[in-house]
């Protein structure tokens, strides 16, 4: 299946691209900055710049099976000045109209057009149960969602249109949870405002499953509330996140403080939407993470699957210095060993499996082939700090083993072993990193304060990305295709 994705570099879009690639789709991403997109999406995604002229865009869309349109300026970043509101509007309404017009002008237009919208459509609805039949609410966001959906509905002239009224998306790398976690990890989290407002959450995995099903299932059409069947209040969200992290979460953020800091944007976090996925339930969609506790547990648990310990005498390496810590992460890939090895030894794929907050950038041309002694150079961003990192490949034993070791960069020692082993049609993979920070006691303190958690998050994200690229859903998709069941892609 050929899928054209907008917003592919975002929180939802990048995860969708990983899943689609994993299912063997041909993906084209409509992007503002092709160079940055290449770094984030890897070499297997075709890029289509948003700067293309309308006729060129129409030509690129011809023959595409489906469009998934997720682009839009972030609603929460930047004060809602008149100019910002115009940007929010045009990046959704005008951009959607532009895309729909190009699809219509294509010689062979896509047959499916899936467009993001938001539960913001319903405005502030207190504790009213909101289904897809509920009327539009009041306020800027509700009007924006209506106009955005209206622009997408124009695609009904040539395609089946699915409108995703998305709730707060919970996933391990970014989104709302990414913003909340730092305070909650320190035990400084709590409900927002009075805490009684309903937060219509959805786990990222469930949202992706809805999109993938929407690509293939003719019954998916019109507006769909994309939020879990058991909406929770802000107070319940804070308490569940606190207990998932084992931290207290009782410090409320007063509504007045939110309004002072966020201005009009405070409405986004203070309004109440008890949205129910009525249509999805009629369609028989089964949520993998229907409850808040379950959804949050999965997000937090990812990092816990990365084991970390102080190095012992058994961790001797062929290097002059000893490591201080050893990190291990295991994954099972539902592809044969040769395919798994080919993916992991291609340097251009690294960006696709690295969390976006690292602002990973490969410097220079990626080497045509990797082998003993190959040097790779990157830049990564940690907050405002940009760091250069140079590694060299050691102990190259395809297709079961290789090591990358730092030759210059932030660590005093970095030795990353990749072990792969065939297991029937699957591959078992073990990442083992032996490392040490510089500056003796200060390095240990930095490790305790944030570096340990950061490494866990990096490998936790990698596990999540690898599951989307090489997880069991590949096998399920192939099985559907073979059995000729509805929805094979």
Ligand X SMILES: NC(=O)c1ccc[n+]([C@@H]2O[C@H](COP(=O)([O-])OP(=O)(O)OC[C@H]3O[C@@H](n4cnc5c(N)ncnc54)[C@H](OP(=O)(O)O)[C@@H]3O)[C@@H](O)[C@H]2O)c1
What residues contact residue 3 under an 8 Å CB cut-off, 6+ apart?
A: 20, 25, 26, 27, 28, 64, 65, 66, 67, 68, 215
Binding test (CB under 6 A) with ligand X, winner from 21, 27, 95, 208: 95
At 116, give phi and psi (nearest 5°).
Answer: -70, 150
CA R_g for the chain: 23
115 part of the interface to ligand X, by CB under 6 A = no
Q: How far apart are CB 169 and ligand X at their closest, in Å? A: 4
- In the range 3-62, which residues lie near ligand X by CB under 6 A? 7-13, 32-33, 50
Q: How far apart are CB 259 and ligand X at their closest, in Å? A: 21
Within 282-425, strands assigned E span 307-310, 325-333, 361-362, 375-382, 385-397, 401-408, 413-423
Q: How far apart are CB 15 and ligand X at their closest, in Å? A: 8
Distance CA 151, CA 432 (A): 49
- In the range 411-430, which residues lie near ligand X by CB under 6 A? none
Q: How far apart are CB 489 and ligand X at their closest, in Å? A: 21
Decide whether 223 or 345 has the Cβ nearer to ligand X: 223
Q: How far apart are CB 204 and ligand X at their closest, in Å? A: 8
For residues 191 and 130, is the Cβ–Cβ distance under 8 A?
Answer: no
Residue 54: CB atoms within 10 A of its CB come to 11
Decide whether 71 or 352 has the Cβ nearer to ligand X: 71
152 part of the interface to ligand X, by CB under 6 A = no
Q: How far apart are CB 287 and ligand X at their closest, in Å? A: 16
For residues 355 and 457, is the Cβ–Cβ distance under 8 A?
Answer: yes
Q: Which string of b and e fits 188-224 if b means at least 16 CB within 10 Å?
A: ebbbbbebebbbbbbbbbbbbbbbbbbbbbeebbebb
Decide whether 270 or 335 has the Cβ nearer to ligand X: 270
74 part of the interface to ligand X, by CB under 6 A = yes
Q: H-helix or E-strand containing 244?
A: helix 234-245
At 161, give phi and psi (nearest 5°).
Answer: -110, 130
Binding test (CB under 6 A) with ligand X, winner from 19, 71, 223, 376: 71
Q: How far apart are CB 67 and ligand X at their closest, in Å? A: 13
Stretch that binds ligand X, among 52-60, 71-79, 411-419, 429-437 (CB under 6 A): 71-79
Tell me which residue has its CB nearest to ligand X: 10
Binding test (CB under 6 A) with ligand X, winner from 48, 58, 64, 118: 118
Distance CA 432, CA 418 (A): 7
Inter-axis angle of helices 95-105 and 54-61, to 10 degrees?
A: 60
Q: How far apart are CB 217 and ligand X at their closest, in Å? A: 20
- In the range 160-179, which residues lie near ligand X by CB under 6 A? 166, 168-169, 175-176
Catalog residues that contact ligand X under the rule CB under 6 A: 7-13, 32-33, 50, 70-74, 91, 95, 116, 118, 166, 168-169, 175-176
């Amino acid at each position: 299946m050929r899928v054209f994705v907008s917003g592919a570099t975002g929180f939802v879009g990048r995860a969708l691209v990983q899943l689609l690639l994993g299912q063997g789709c041909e993906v084209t991403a409509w992007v503002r900055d092709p160079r940055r997109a290449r770094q984030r999406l890897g070499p297997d995604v075709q890029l289509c710049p948003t700067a293309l002229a309308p006729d060129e865009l129409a030509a690129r869309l011809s023959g595409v099976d489906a469009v998934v349109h997720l682009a839009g300026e972030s609603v929460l970043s930047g004060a809602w000045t008149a100019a910002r509101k115009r940007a929010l509007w045009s990046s959704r309404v005008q951009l959607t109209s532009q895309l729909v017009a190009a699809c219509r002008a294509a010689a062979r237009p896509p047959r499916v057009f899936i467009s993001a919208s938001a539960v913001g459509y319903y405005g502030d609805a207190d504790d009213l149960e909101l289904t897809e039949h509920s009327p539009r609410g009041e306020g800027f966001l509700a009007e924006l969602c209506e106009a955005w959906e209206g622009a997408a509905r124009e695609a009904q002239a040539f395609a089946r249109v699915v409108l995703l009224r998305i709730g707060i998306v919970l996933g391990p790398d970014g989104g709302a949870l990414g913003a909340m976690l730092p305070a909650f990890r320190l035990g400084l989290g709590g409900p927002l405002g009075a805490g009684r407002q309903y937060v219509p959450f959805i786990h990222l995995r469930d949202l992706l499953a809805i999109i993938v099903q929407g690509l293939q299932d003719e019954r998916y059409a019109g507006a769909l509330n994309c939020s879990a069947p058991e909406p929770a209040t802000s107070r319940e969200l804070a308490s569940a996140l606190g207990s998932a992290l084992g931290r207290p979460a009782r410090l409320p953020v007063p509504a007045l403080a939110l309004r002072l800091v966020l201005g009009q944007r405070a409405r986004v976090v203070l309004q109440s939407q008890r949205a129910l996925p009525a249509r999805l339930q009629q369609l028989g969609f089964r949520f993998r993470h229907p409850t808040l506790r379950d959804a949050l547990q999965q997000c937090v648990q990812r990092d816990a699957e990365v084991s970390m310990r102080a190095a012992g005498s058994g961790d001797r390496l062929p290097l002059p210095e000893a490591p201080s810590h050893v990190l291990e992460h295991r994954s099972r890939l539902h592809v044969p060993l040769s395919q798994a090895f080919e993916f992991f030894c291609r340097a251009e794929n690294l960006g696709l499996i690295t969390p976006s907050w690292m602002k990973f950038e490969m410097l220079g041309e990626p080497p045509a082939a990797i082998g003993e002694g190959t040097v790779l150079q990157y830049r990564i961003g940690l907050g405002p700090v940009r760091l250069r990192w140079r590694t060299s490949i050691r102990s190259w034993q395809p297709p079961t083993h290789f090591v990358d070791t730092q030759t210059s960069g932030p660590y005093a020692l970095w030795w990353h072993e990749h072990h792969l082993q065939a297991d029937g049609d699957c591959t078992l993979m073990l990442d083992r990193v032996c490392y040490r920070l510089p500056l003796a006691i200060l390095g240990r303190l930095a490790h305790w304060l944030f570096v340990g958690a950061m490494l866990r998050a990096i490998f936790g994200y990698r596990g999540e990305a690898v599951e989307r690229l090489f997880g069991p859903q590949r096998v399920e998709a192939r099985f559907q295709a073979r059995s000729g069941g509805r929805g094979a892609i």
